[in-house]
Chains A and B, each alone.
Chain A
């Protein structure tokens, strides 16, 4: 089966750093994606890991350990507009690359 776990909710302060963890157990693995989703809007692609290690993209970084089935998204210099849900999704190797999503982590950034 497919199982992806993330914390339900996190809070942080403007200017701080926050790490959102994701653990997964899937029948196959072809990459892990992080998306940002504001309420009522579409998921927006943030970051992508296929190999172990850290991928950095401006204020956002994502880390992957395939042996541990673990990833995290690191957000630096938090801004109020970063308040959103952050979705961890695995591209499971079950065919034509569907994404299996976690339930998402709702991040609230306060002043």
Chain B
């Protein structure tokens, strides 16, 4: 079964540094998402992406964050000038193989980001 893949599985970064989290969505999906989950808390929506542009973003997704689809397969989340409170598990998800976003979103295994 096709999967969403994320790299790296764990990223440790000094506060103030930039970090890029990478995702390869399921190949025929058209809608891509980033969520985060701070340890012990609920999964929170960050951003959705369709047709090479952001379609919706949450209040968490401020100017520190950006997303990009640099080629036909990768979908990246960049966090500039990381803060301690950015430490969390970041999940990429995708859906919409028939152009319909009203489908289950499939999640990758996540990247655990630790800011020191």
Bound together, the chains give a CA A96 to CA B54 distance in angstroms of 10
Does any Cβ of A come within 8 Å of B68's Cβ? Answer: no
Q: Would B56 and A101 count as touching, CB distance under 8 A?
A: no
Chain A: number of interface residues, binned into ranges:
20 to 34
B residues near A (Cβ < 8 Å) are 31, 33, 35, 41-45, 48, 50, 55-56, 58, 89, 91, 95, 101-102, 104-110
Q: Would A41 and B109 count as touching, CB distance under 8 A?
A: yes
- Is the contact region of chain A dominated by helix, strand, or loop, or is it mixed? loop
Taking A48-B104, A96-B55, A97-B101 as known contacts, 14 extra A-B pairs with beta carbons closer than 8 A to each other, sorted by chain A number, are: A42-B108, A42-B109, A94-B56, A95-B55, A96-B31, A96-B50, A97-B95, A98-B56, A99-B33, A99-B35, A99-B105, A101-B42, A103-B42, A104-B42
Closest 10 CB pairs of A and B: A96-B55, A95-B56, A97-B101, A42-B107, A101-B43, A45-B104, A98-B45, A103-B42, A96-B48, A42-B109
